[in-house]
Amino acid sequence: MAYVAVSGGEEAIEASIQLLDYYRSGTEKDVDLEVIENKFGLLVDKVMSEAGLYARSYAALALKQCEGSTEEAVFLLRAYRSTLKRSHYTKTVDTGEMRVMRRISAAFKDIPGGQLLGATYDYTHRLIHFERESEDASELHQMFQKILNEQTPEQLRTYSRVSNMLKEEGLLDIYKEDNTPPFDVTENLLEFPASRSARLQTMTRADTGFLSGLAYSVLRGFGQVHPTVGELRSGYVALEIPYPGKAEESIYLGEILLTEVETFNSASDKEQLKLASGYGAVFGRNENKAIAMAVIDRELEQGGDYPPQDQEFVLMHGDCLEMNGFISHLKLPHYVTFQSKLDAVRKTRRKQEHGESGTV
């Protein structure tokens, strides 16, 4: 559970909350929610992913309310999510039908359909553009709206998976379709050993920095070492629910933006007859998290002695809400427990002093 509590008089608490509004005020200019949602898209995506709720406008509102703190915004969004009624389960999404906006492979130069670079900061010069202090936002918006309107359906087509090539060659395992209902970590207590569906759900809501740090440790030798990104794709997938009374028909709800990654690893056996794969998928554009998730997915599947291969270590410590809540609780009063520590130290010191002087 996450620790959330305050201690002090009622007047002090009310004054503290009022002071938060003071810090949030800052200037007479207000920050429009539409601005946060559309101009801080990567931040909004990060909050939605860790909160487990795809709601861009609410994520923007949460960020505005808590001065841009991702931890607090995730807390607010998760708390709101817990009040929502779950009316339907969508049909299983086939990400192979994703309306792709970006698609690359680090494993192959030439892939079916070609590489689609899309929007990325990977090739930008890390220089601050000071001229953007006074850029004309409306002119920029109109220019790109015109470009989008001129796109043809062929430019928004779907792409087959890179991994299909390896499966056809027998270099990746092909698994039968498993229609077992996934383990829902939001409604059930996580138990170990956890199923793969539970692991993937937990990781997609995990703290981005935590997962990235674990994946980095794998690359440095605390794991199977250096997987290859077989395919990274970002784009929109359609959500549908079964039509009541007509299972063969469905109702289209809309589409959401996802980032999906498949990584390829050397197999664990010495014969090296096949490759192994890892998988990651997150809300929005959050490529590093999706890659880190795929790396850790394979480590957990493999198992071993390193922290990234330990289910309990990874799944119980990566939740940003639990993590930050527990660390934050250290700010709360610990008067009694600290006094007991002081008493123990003082008692030990007295014993040592008496022993050195030869007295009992």
Q: Kindly provide the b/e burial profile for residues 17-32, where b requires at least 16 CB atoms within 10 angstroms of the residue's own CB.
A: eeeeeeeeeeeeeebe
Instruction: State residue 1's pLDDT score.
Output: 47
Both tokens of residue 219?
């690359």
Instruction: State residue 258's pLDDT score.
Output: 94
The region, left, alpha or beta by phi > 0 then psi within -120 to 50, assigned to residue 302 is: alpha
Instruction: State residue 61's pLDDT score.
Output: 95
Identity of the residue numbered 212:
S
Instruction: State residue 154's pLDDT score.
Output: 55
Instruction: State residue 356's pLDDT score.
Output: 61
The residue ranges of the chain whose pLDDT is under 70 are: 1-8, 151-157, 267-272, 356-360
What pTM value is reported for the model?
A: 0.85
